[in-house]
């Protein structure tokens, strides 16, 4: 394990670069750049000497802009180049830049100097970075993207983007698997823009990638690039995705593919976004989803999400069906029934309150959410009694949320009056 906090001092004491810090970490280079400024710059090698003695070890040559270490009567040696590239004096940083031509392992510091606050340092570093071949910029992508947040960080970013858009596809492919999330996103955007990925592969990425941004990017690109013969494979992959946003994209695309009828099986999807897209596709085909929901709710165990869908597009008269389903033996049906009642604006405080003691945590959470607008109607003593350690955790959490909502309704501070007196730790 590397201790980034001590990298600057280890370099000053003569440790090799790869032993002093993790050279593959963008964070380690950024921290090194900051920590070098905290070193006693009049005391390179003799870090442990007293200040008066250390100052006598530093000698300067008017013909050489870089400092050297040594007694005035003996030839001096320069401090390690990585430290000179981070020196507080901009003249020293600028002079040290020329040495990076022959030290490619120090290119991360060249990238840092491209965002330097000193104009002469910044311009010289940019001129040197522009000489670096495009494929050799790819390993610096994480650091370049991190520095792009700085006021002067755009140059290296533009250089990297240009090299990836025009360079070998393999460089982009390698960055698509990078461990850094921002780098992966950047590489995927380049790949999509260059058309390097087939719709089928884009669909696979959308359904296997855990990053929501990449899910959306690849799902949209997969649908936009559909070709004859590839459509079914792409759509079927998207429709089977675990991520609701990806499934929703696939369901919406059923309309363009002329497969409207297939949207019906998503009317009872567990995600509200997917249910809404399914209703949209059916309505575009002239199909009213409401009768389908009513039919599905006759056997809700086969499609629990239909109860929520019925509330989302039903009528007030459908509230009776949903109240019946709040007593269904299957917890998933009870949860969606509560969700449907909220969507239908048919929540009854008296009838919903018993669900706070439901044996299923998901049902208690849904009921709590539905009862928050009526929190002021709860008896505070009853809610505090529900916070007793022997009560189920799901009920304790619900009671705390309701107490907070009740305190807000009464205009009281929620922290001191609720958390401290309840003893519940979140």
Per residue in 126-172, pLDDT (tens digit) is: 999 999 998 999 999 999 999 998 888 899 999 999 999 999 999 99
DSSP label of 149: T
For residue 16, being part of any structural domain is answered with: yes
Q: What is the pTM of this model?
A: 0.79
CA 216 to CA 243: how far, in whole Å?
A: 10
Q: Could you count the other beta carbons within 10 Å of the beta carbon of residue 27? A: 14
Assess if residue 256 is contained within a domain.
no
CB of 12 within 8 A of CB of 83?
Answer: yes
- Residue ranges of the chain with pLDDT lower than 50? 1, 42-63, 70-74, 416-426
Burial label for 135, CB within 10 Å (0-12, 13-18, 19+), is middle
CB of 226 closer than 8 Å to CB of 234: yes
Q: How far is it, in rounded angstroms, from Cα 56 to Cα 37?
A: 20
Position 276 scores a pLDDT of 97
> How many domains does the chain divide into?
1
Is the CB of residue 398 less than 8 Å from the CB of residue 386? yes
Q: Is residue 20 part of a domain?
A: yes
CA 420 to chain centre: 33
Contacts of residue 88, defined as CB under 8 A and 6 or more positions apart, other chains included, come to 36, 37, 41
Structural domain includes residue 56: yes
> Would you say residue 45 lies in a domain?
yes
Q: Report the interhelical angle of 231-239 vs 212-224 (nearest 10°).
A: 150
Residue 399, in any domain of the structure: no
SS3 (DSSP) at 264: helix
Task: Establish if 337 belongs to a structural domain.
Answer: no
Cα separation of 34 and 343, whole Å?
A: 53
Instruction: Judge contact between 186 and 172, C-beta under 8 A.
Output: no
Residue 22 three-state SS: coil
**Does 102 reside within a domain?**
yes
Q: Tell me which residue range forms the domain holding 59.
A: 1-132
Query: CB of 218 within 8 A of CB of 199?
Result: no
């Amino acid at each position: 394990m590397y201790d980034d906090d001590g990298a600057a001092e280890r370099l000053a004491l003569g440790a090799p670069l790869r032993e002093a810090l993790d050279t593959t970490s963008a964070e380690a280079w950024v921290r090194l750049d900051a920590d070098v400024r905290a070193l006693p710059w009049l005391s390179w090698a003799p870090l442990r000497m007293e200040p008066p003695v250390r100052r006598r070890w530093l000698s300067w040559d008017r013909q050489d802009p870089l400092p050297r270490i040594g007694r005035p009567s003996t030839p001096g040696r320069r401090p390690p180049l990585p430290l000179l590239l981070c020196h507080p004096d901009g003249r020293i940083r600028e002079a040290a830049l020329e040495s990076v031509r022959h030290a490619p392992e120090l290119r991360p510091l060249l990238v840092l100097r491209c965002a330097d606050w000193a104009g002469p340092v910044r311009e010289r570093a940019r001129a040197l970075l522009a000489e670096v071949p495009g494929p050799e910029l790819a390993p610096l992508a994480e650091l370049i993207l991190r520095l792009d947040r700085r006021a002067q960080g755009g140059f290296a970013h533009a250089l990297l983007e240009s090299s990836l858009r025009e360079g070998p596809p393999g460089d982009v492919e390698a960055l698509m698997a990078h461990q850094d999330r921002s780098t992966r996103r950047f590489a995927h955007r380049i790949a999509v823009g260059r058309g390097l990925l087939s719709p089928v592969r884009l669909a696979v990425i959308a359904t296997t990638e855990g990053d929501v941004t990449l899910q959306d990017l690849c799902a949209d690109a997969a649908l936009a690039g559909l070709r004859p013969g590839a459509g079914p494979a792409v759509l079927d992959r998207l429709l089977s995705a675990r991520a609701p946003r990806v499934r929703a994209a696939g369901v919406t695309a059923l309309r363009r593919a002329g497969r409207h009828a297939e949207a019906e099986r998503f009317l009872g999807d567990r995600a509200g976004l997917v249910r809404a897209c399914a209703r949209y596709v059916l309505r575009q085909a002239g199909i009213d989803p409401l009768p389908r929901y009513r039919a599905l709710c006759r056997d809700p165990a086969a499609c629990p999400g239909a109860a929520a869908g019925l509330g989302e597009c039903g009528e007030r008269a459908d509230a009776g069906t949903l109240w019946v389903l709040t007593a269904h033996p299957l917890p998933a049906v009870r949860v969606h029934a509560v969700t449907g009642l909220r969507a239908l604006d048919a929540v009854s405080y008296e009838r919903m309150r018993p669900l706070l003691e439901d044996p299923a945590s998901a049902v208690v959470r849904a009921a709590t959410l539905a009862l928050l607008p009526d929190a002021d109607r709860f008896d505070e003593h009853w809610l505090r009694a529900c916070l007793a350690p022997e009560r189920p955790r799901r009920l304790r959490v619900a009671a705390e949320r309701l107490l907070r909502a009740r305190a807000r309704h009464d205009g009281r501070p929620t922290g001191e009056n609720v958390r401290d007196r309840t003893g519940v730790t979140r």
